Chain A
Amino acid sequence: MLWRAHHLINKRTSFDFLAKRRLALVASTIINILSLVGVFTLGLNFGIDFEGGIAIQVRAKQGDIHLENLRTTTHGLGIGEVSLQEFGDNKSALIRVQRQEGNAQCVAHADQVMKKRAGNGWSVVPGAADTGDVTFTSPSALDSGGWRDAVSTVGLTLQDRQLPRGNVNSAKIEMSHEQRAEWCQQVAIKLVEDAIGGQYELRGTESVGPKIGEELMHSGVIAVLATLGAICIYVWVRFEWQFGVAALIALLHDVISTVGLFVVLHLDFSLTALAAVLTIAGYSINDTVVIFDRVRENMRRYRKMSLIELLNFSINETLARTLMTSGTVFVAVLALVLFGGPVLYSFSVAMLWGVIVGTYSSIWIASACLVYMKLRPEQFRAKAAEDEKEAKA
């Protein structure tokens, strides 16, 4: 089978791709609108990168995990929304806890953890409601070093001036609401650890504070827009503005429908998912550029062809390589989906989808847009001829 070359497509095809352009455009528009509607109604399943919150990977110390037990235990903790999923194999799970508010309940949790870890003589109570202050009480007097160690039991890290001076058995720690909210992430981790630590081993924890999540979201949106813009400008400079706009529409289609896929499959939209979206944009444009390149070449060669004929002809000419290049990336990404492990799963599935949708959009969306943009071959030819003349001169 490997000793000779097999042609994926045996002879030159002559499919009338663009005859179906209306159908394709309508179908794609509907899919895109549905994707957007899905994003705004069902919402994306944002990972903790963007939402803030906690993710804990656990593995059962013995036997398989019991998601039901785990769910009952963690839901009873009162730390807000907790979601569970099997992760990789049936011994491991990913526990996701929503971003913690720095409210009084969190202080009550800290009290609980403190009592469990340091003894019943301890107590933690919130200070005045308009501040984030917290008051710790210990069973015996402690110096500032002792206080530092003590509060680290509940994941609180303090600086000298926040610590009490002298030997006292009660310490009021002054904090802003923001600082308390960040600390409460740590409290929630400790609480989960205490609740399930007996049966489960905590293999990795991630906690992203509310502030950083917002920033990542912000820079993510900028990254997507900048990428789309830069690619569009590149195509515009290399070809004509119509090509740039067509490429942009095709890219938007790919990006939006990929985001739609995340909604439908309820995949984690994390930083890696964002990477997938950008890579899909960068990849999808490959096929588009290959076709555009050929369209431009043919415009000069076949001066009598109508635009639709010309586009169809070019797409057919490049069909074999469009499919082949997509095919190689497809099989590589397939390996990632099958063997890449749970962390990369969302990314890989999105990429797999991206390869397919990118190929589709290059043929139907990008090229069809050229038709509606009234790209006038005559004008383009005239300009090309001028360029050639200039080049010769």
Chain B
Amino acid sequence: MLNLPRWQTITIVTVTVLAALLALPNLLPDRVMNVLPGWYQQSRINLGLDLRGGAHFLLEADLRGVMNERLVNLSDSVRAEMRKQQVAFKSVDIDGGKAVVLVLRDEAQRAKALEGIRALDPTLTVAGTGDTIRVAYAEVDLTRKRKEVIDQSIEILRRRVDETGTIEPTIVRQGDDRILLQIPGIKDTTELKRKINQTAKLTFHLVDENVAATGQNLPTSLPPTTFLVPTREGMAALRAANPKAYDDIQAANPRLSPEQICRRYQPQCLPVLKRVVVGGEDLDDAKSTFENQSNGGRPIISFTFNAAGGRAFCAATRANIGKRLAIQLDSEIISAPVVQSAICGGSGIITGQFTTQQTQEQALLLRSGALPATLTIIEERTVGADLGADAIHSGTVAALVGTFFVIVFMLISYGPVFGGFASLAMLVNMLLVFAGMSVLGASLTLPGIAGLVLTVGMSVDSNVLIYERVREERANGRSAFSALAMGYEKALTAVIDSNLTALIAGVLLFGFGAGPIRGFATSLSLGLLTHLFTATIFTRMVLALWVRWRRPTELPL
């Protein structure tokens, strides 16, 4: 064990120094940190919500409701299609939220009915015999739709939470139908909850081409039927150029009208007619797709209206070919495509010089009027900032005292030299854990601190195993040298075994646990892993260096 290759020493020292550098930002006071470069400040460990204060929500999307609604629409379409195909039917019902059941008057018309259904949507699955036809969405389609609903909900939530000006919200999918929303530092959740459910307002307006033709961004006089609305690009440019103005707009209470925003902050604006052509409540769906290859195959946005919306849209487009139709979402115009032809039949497309990503975003925005599914809060935890500060305080005190206890215990039991080595290895281990958490971007929670304290206690265990073995070997009459070497070697399997078994518990806890408990599992598992390094390699290096330096004939153990 005394032959320590130079490269190993170099590796160990490098790893330790690197870890120290990575862990350092967590220990330095803010005053010092502020003068250091930004990237270095980044390597601080995130504090969990229970420590920094904030709100944690688990939302469940009512997917069953969405699927039911879809079936209701499908049954409407089936009914309409059957009438169109002149297929006589007794009834069209929804069966157990899974399928639409069509019962024909005349079995002979089955083929015709099936053809009609296929024309409706070729991906539908069809079953049943005789006069009964069961129409259902294919499993693939349902899975896709479920995913879409959740993704869309997440996007809408993100948009709304961003509007409240909160920093670093976490919004992620959890399981099949859940969304986890974590917002640090928030005090009053009532406002947030209201915001979450607030619907973005979507309206279609005609652009007032007479005013627009003047080319002025902010015409001084407007006809009473026209008002100014900032464009999305305009607002994005304003945000980039003058973030403060943007924040002021978001924070303004009462909210500024689009026209006020235009006049006060002068982003790029469009004059549009106040009259609403169609409202977002009449929009059924919008998706990103591609136009026909013959037309160039460019990415486009296609949308569908319900019956009322379709009629209104048809009339408006027929009368305004060649003019622009502005699509306003809340107080921004997200796009203003030119009407190419009368759009009747309830669906239309928006073309333009779009990339696929843009069409996807726009489609999402169009759909983002309302949340696609009802979200129910099934878990809510809020922690006030001062409560978090208390937790940090007690956690820190416990960790420091625990470390102190352990060091004293080791010094008493193994003397200043070996007790000191063990304490050193333990401290290095803690540095590694901190560095590891910084690198992984893991959050430190209060149970996480408990995990750290346990790591402190457990990470001297391997030194204990080694030292006790050395004492035994010494008692068996070995020389100081060989007792050290043998003790180290023979204790190694026990060291690894005991770490691995504890690690099993840690990893499973991470897998099954939720919330702050994961923080505990993370810090404990990480501590055990890094401990494998300090226990086997680091301790060995320290012992070897010491032996080489002191050449002891007697061990102070």
Which residues of A come within 8 Å of B, CB atoms? 1-8, 12, 57, 88, 145, 148-149, 152, 155, 157-162, 179, 182-183, 185-186, 202-209, 211-212, 216, 219-220, 222-223, 226-227, 230-231, 234-235, 238, 271-272, 274-275, 278-279, 281-283, 285-286, 289-290, 293, 317-318, 320-321, 324-325, 327-336, 338-341, 343-344, 347-348, 351
Q: Is the beta-carbon distance between B454 and A223 smaller than 8 angstroms?
A: no
> Which chain B residues lie closer than 8 Å to A279 at the CB level?
454, 502, 505-506, 509, 524
A5 to chain B, nearest CB (A): 3
> Which chain A residues lie closer than 8 Å to B410 at the CB level?
328
Minimal Cβ-Cβ distance residue in A for B499: A286
Q: CA of A160 to CA of B200 in the docked complex: distance in angstroms?
A: 10
Report B175-222 residues with CB < 8 Å from chain A CB.
190, 193-194, 196-199
The interface on chain B, measured as residues whose beta carbon lies within 8 A of the other chain's beta carbons, has a size of 97
Report B395-454 residues with CB < 8 Å from chain A CB.
395, 397-399, 401-406, 408-416, 418-419, 446-447, 449-450, 453-454
Task: Decide yes or no: A286 and B461 within 8 Å by CB, A5-B415, A159-B197 being known contacts.
Answer: yes
Q: CA of A344 to CA of B374 in the docked complex: distance in angstroms?
A: 36
B557: Cβ under 8 A from any A Cβ: yes
Q: Is the beta-carbon distance between B450 and A336 smaller than 8 angstroms?
A: yes
Q: CA of A317 to CA of B465 in the docked complex: distance in angstroms?
A: 12
Report B524-541 residues with CB < 8 Å from chain A CB.
524
A147 to chain B, nearest CB (A): 11
> Which chain A residues lie closer than 8 Å to B460 at the CB level?
328
Q: Is the beta-carbon distance between B475 and A204 smaller than 8 angstroms?
A: no
Q: Is the beta-carbon distance between A231 and B465 smaller than 8 angstroms?
A: no
> Which chain A residues lie closer than 8 Å to B397 at the CB level?
339
Q: Is the beta-carbon distance between A152 and B194 smaller than 8 angstroms?
A: yes
Task: Decide yes or no: A205 and B412 within 8 Å by CB, A275-B521, A340-B395 being known contacts.
Answer: no
Q: CA of A5 to CA of B516 in the docked complex: distance in angstroms?
A: 40
A237 to chain B, nearest CB (A): 11
Q: Could you give 7 example pairs across A and B, Cβ below 8 Å?
A: A159-B197, A160-B370, A185-B380, A202-B384, A206-B380, A334-B402, A334-B405
B377: Cβ under 8 A from any A Cβ: yes
> Which chain A residues lie closer than 8 Å to B520 at the CB level?
272, 275
Q: Is the beta-carbon distance between B494 and A293 smaller than 8 angstroms?
A: yes
B371: Cβ under 8 A from any A Cβ: yes
> Which chain A residues lie closer than 8 Å to B198 at the CB level?
145, 148
Residues 370-404 of chain B: 1 if any A CB is under 8 Å from the residue's CB, otherwise 0? 11011111111111101100110111011101111
Task: Decide yes or no: A5 and B419 within 8 Å by CB, A223-B511, A275-B509 being known contacts.
Answer: yes
Minimal Cβ-Cβ distance residue in B for A280: B505
Q: Is the beta-carbon distance between A5 and B497 smaller than 8 angstroms?
A: no
Q: A182-B377, A230-B504 are in contact. List 13 more A-B contacts (CB 8 A).
A: A88-B390, A160-B199, A179-B374, A182-B378, A286-B461, A333-B454, A340-B394, A340-B395, A341-B390, A341-B391, A341-B446, A347-B450, A348-B450
Q: Is the beta-carbon distance between A286 and B498 smaller than 8 angstroms?
A: yes
B191 to chain A, nearest CB (A): 9
Minimal Cβ-Cβ distance residue in A for B411: A2
The 4 closest A-B pairs by CB, nearest first: A282-B505, A332-B457, A341-B394, A335-B402
Q: Is the beta-carbon distance between A209 and B401 smaller than 8 angstroms?
A: no
Q: Is the beta-carbon distance between B371 and A286 smaller than 8 angstroms?
A: no
B471: Cβ under 8 A from any A Cβ: yes
Q: Is the beta-carbon distance between B457 and A333 smaller than 8 angstroms?
A: yes
Minimal Cβ-Cβ distance residue in B for A183: B376
Q: Is the beta-carbon distance between B502 and A285 smaller than 8 angstroms?
A: yes
